[in-house]
Amino acid sequence: MESVGSRTPRFVRIGALLGVAFLALPVVGLLKRVAWSTLWAQLTDVATRDALRISLYASVCATALAFLLGLPLAWCLARMQFSGRRIIRALVLLPMVLPPVVGGVALLGAYGKSNGLLGGVLNSLFGIQLTYSLWGVIIAETFVALPFLVLALEGGLRSIDTKYEEAAAVMGATDITRFVRVALPLLKPSLVAGLMLAWARALGEFGATITFAGNIQGRTQTAPLAVYTMLESNPEGAYALSFLLVAVSVAVLVGLRDRWIGGATT
């Protein structure tokens, strides 16, 4: 017999069930529309293969770039006291709350070929064009993925007891050695979670990519853009590719289960 305190009211249970149904229905709908007999053929189609190749390459590069930029940023936010820290944290969070299309427009303002603050200089001095190129895809994906990595790493760094780095210093470890041999191993769970979340976000990026890098098959068309394009011309292919992206997302969730999902269980 449940005590009064632990008893869940019926309307709460019904509400929760409705919530589950709301989330599950689209997944079921998607699975129902997948043409299983032609799934492999659809996934190995040239356009799909190109989109997957670009998606995989760009999302891995974006995650690596997010790591290079995000780790120092997270370190400073977690460990340093400086004026403007709140503003920088708000700036880090901005791509999370910004409509991705607006993010793409902002990227055009910064790295656009003719009018971009930096893009114009890069183009006139070195002939480098970031828009409508694979680099454009990588930059757009890095822009939206970076906050996920910074938040995970910042949380991880805050939870690490600095006594281990102090002990290492007394034992003769220099700054870099302390970072590589002590801080990074302690940070590993947060780092893995952050990298997976950032990679998943990069892989699913749509709005900023289409605005900043375009939707050119074989050059900048990623898997989500291919799904959008194929939905009219080849719905079977769109559903096949969507299924693959759902499978990847589920794999990420399974990979993170202990840290993000299992953590909620008692």
Partner 1 sequence: MISVHGIVEVGTFSREFSLDVGNEIVGMFGANGSGKTSVLRTIAGLCPLAQGELRVNDELTDAPAKNIFVLPEMRNIGMVFQDHSLFPFMTAIENASFPLQMRGVKRATAVKMAAEMLEQFGVAHIAQHMAPTLSGGQSQRVAIARALIGSPSAVLLDEPLSAIDEESRESVRNHIREHLVRLGVSAIVVSHDRAELDHLCTRIENYTR
Distance separating alpha carbons of residues 240 and 29, to the nearest angstrom: 13
- Which C-beta is closer to partner 1: that of 114 or that of 159? 159
Token digits of residue 232: 């009219």
180 binds partner 1 (CB under 8 A): no
Residue 215 CB coordination number (10 Å) = 17
Distance separating alpha carbons of residues 148 and 117, to the nearest angstrom: 26
User: Residue for token digits 């194929």?
Assistant: 230
118 binds partner 1 (CB under 8 A): no
CB of 180 to partner 1, least distance (A): 12
Stretch that binds partner 1, among 27-35, 40-48, 56-64, 184-192 (CB under 8 A): 184-192
- Contact call for residues 147 and 92 (beta carbons, < 8 A): yes
The 41-60 contact track toward partner 1, x by CB under 8 A, reads --------------------
Distance separating alpha carbons of residues 146 and 31, to the nearest angstrom: 31
User: Residue for token digits 């944290």?
Assistant: 89
From the centroid of its chain, how far is CA 105? 19
Q: Tell which one of 10, 32, 86, 163 touches partner 1 (CB under 8 A).
A: 163
**Residue 172, SS3?**
coil
Residue 7 CB coordination number (10 Å) = 10
- Which C-beta is closer to partner 1: that of 151 or that of 187? 187
Distance separating alpha carbons of residues 109 and 107, to the nearest angstrom: 5
Q: Tell which one of 25, 118, 167, 180 touches partner 1 (CB under 8 A).
A: 167
CB of 177 to partner 1, least distance (A): 7
Q: Tell which one of 35, 186, 216, 231 touches partner 1 (CB under 8 A).
A: 186
171 binds partner 1 (CB under 8 A): yes
159 binds partner 1 (CB under 8 A): no
- Which C-beta is closer to partner 1: that of 53 or that of 181? 181
In sequence order, the 6+-apart residues with CB closer than 8 A to the CB of 109 are 115, 116, 117
174 binds partner 1 (CB under 8 A): yes
132 binds partner 1 (CB under 8 A): no
Q: Tell which one of 129, 177, 215, 217 touches partner 1 (CB under 8 A).
A: 177
By CB under 8 A, name the binding residues for partner 1: 163-164, 166-174, 177, 182, 185-186, 188
